[in-house]
């Protein structure tokens, strides 16, 4: 019975995500983990996303803890154009100023 509740909760959360992302289609997600001899993990995520009628797309990562950090952020479009990583993302800039660029928004402690 516990597994059934867990599955229903998971499916409900996916339904909410799909409803809020109506203009976004996630076609594929490929996540690779490589463990280094020092015990660190290098995680690479490749998202194949179609974001229509929106100006920005955010991939939310939260509650990662102080031991986890995102480094070497890289973003490219469907034509292979590599976006410029600006580090800290300024959400208040114009769409023109944001074009072809990417970055990270820190919303709180450990985010």
Per the domain annotation, does 73 fall within a domain?
yes
The structure's pTM equals 0.63
Percent of the chain with pLDDT over 90: 18
Name the pairing type of β-strands 101-104 and 84-88.
parallel
**The pLDDT of residue 69:** 80
pLDDT (tens digit per residue) in 82-92: 999 999 999 89
CA gap 70, 108 in Å, rounded: 15
Per the domain annotation, does 99 fall within a domain?
yes
**The pLDDT of residue 4:** 57
CA gap 74, 80 in Å, rounded: 11
The domain total for the chain is 1
Lowest-confidence segment of 2-6, 54-58, 98-102 by average pLDDT: 2-6
**The pLDDT of residue 101:** 92
Name the band, by pLDDT with cuts 50, 70 and 90, for residue 68.
Answer: confident
Identify which has the larger pLDDT, 17 or 93: 93
Closest by Cα among 47, 81, 78, 79 to 61: 47
Residue 63: which domain range?
24-104
CA gap 18, 72 in Å, rounded: 29
Per the domain annotation, does 67 fall within a domain?
yes
Per the domain annotation, does 10 fall within a domain?
no
Per the domain annotation, does 6 fall within a domain?
no
CB 61 within 8 A of CB 111: yes
Q: Mean per-residue pLDDT for 18-39? A: 79
Per the domain annotation, does 18 fall within a domain?
no
Per the domain annotation, does 44 fall within a domain?
yes
Per the domain annotation, does 16 fall within a domain?
no
């Amino acid at each position: 019975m516990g597994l059934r509740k867990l599955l229903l909760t998971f499916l409900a959360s996916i339904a909410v995500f799909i409803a809020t992302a109506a203009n976004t289609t996630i076609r594929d997600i490929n996540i690779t983990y490589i463990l280094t001899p020092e015990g660190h993990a290098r995680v690479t995520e490749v998202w194949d996303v179609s974001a229509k009628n929106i100006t920005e797309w955010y991939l939310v990562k939260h509650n990662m803890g102080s031991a986890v950090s995102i480094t070497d952020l890289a973003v490219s479009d469907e034509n292979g154009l590599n976006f410029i990583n600006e580090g800290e993302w300024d959400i208040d800039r114009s769409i023109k100023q944001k074009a072809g660029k990417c970055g990270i928004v820190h919303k709180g402690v450990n985010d």
